[in-house]
């Protein structure tokens, strides 16, 4: 399967909000509500931030939210903080397998 499409980079200032998009075909993002988002700091394993499009695991700040419209899912981070600077990956279920986005590097200015 082809990777889901994410912007290569986004940036924002502390306190601002940013949104990262994740686009795929109807066979994955558009076809299921099984989109998840992962945060990865350099040299670390990915960390689950959002699952099933818009659910937050316990312990994840409510500054992180997810949504989906058609074939595009989005991750929004409000009240940007320095520690949010990381790579973010979306992922979707598709036909008993998984596909990831190419990743988005978030820079907090």
Partner 1 sequence: QVQLVQSGAEVKKPGASVKVSCKASGYTFTSYYMHWVRQAPGQGLEWMGWINPNSGGTNYAQKFQGRVTMTRDTSISTAYMELNSLRSDDTAVYYCARVSSSGWFSDYWGQGTLVTVSS
CA Rg value for the chain: 13
- Binding status of residue 107 toward partner 1 by CB under 8 A: no
Give the nearer residue to partner 1 in terms of CB position, either 12 or 38: 38
- Binding status of residue 71 toward partner 1 by CB under 8 A: no
**Which of 48, 56, 60, 78 touches partner 1 by CB under 8 A?**
48
Please say whether the dihedral angle defined by the alpha carbons of residues 60, 43, 83 and 16, taken in this order, is positive or negative: negative
Q: Which stretch binds partner 1 (CB under 8 A): 11-19, 37-45, 61-69, 72-80?
A: 37-45
- Binding status of residue 64 toward partner 1 by CB under 8 A: no
Q: Helix or strand or coil: residue 82? A: helix
Q: Are 106 and 89 in contact (CB under 8 A)?
A: no
Number of residues that bind partner 1 (CB under 8 A): 25
- Binding status of residue 56 toward partner 1 by CB under 8 A: no
- Binding status of residue 26 toward partner 1 by CB under 8 A: no
Closest CA to 6 of 108, 102, 107: 102
- Binding status of residue 98 toward partner 1 by CB under 8 A: yes
The Cβ-side half-sphere exposure at 46, using a 13 Å CA radius, reads 14
């Amino acid at each position: 399967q082809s990777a889901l499409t994410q912007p290569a980079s986004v940036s924002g200032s502390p306190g601002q909000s940013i949104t990262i998009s994740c686009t795929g075909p109807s066979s994955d993002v558009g076809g299921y509500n099984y989109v998840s988002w992962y945060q990865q700091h350099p040299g670390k394993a990915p960390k689950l931030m959002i699952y099933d499009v818009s659910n937050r695991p316990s312990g994840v700040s409510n500054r992180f939210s997810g949504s989906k419209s058609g074939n595009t899912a989005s991750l929004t981070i409000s009240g940007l903080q320095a520690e949010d600077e990381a790579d973010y990956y979306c992922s979707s279920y598709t036909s008993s397998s998984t596909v990831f986005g190419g990743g988005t590097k978030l820079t907090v200015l």
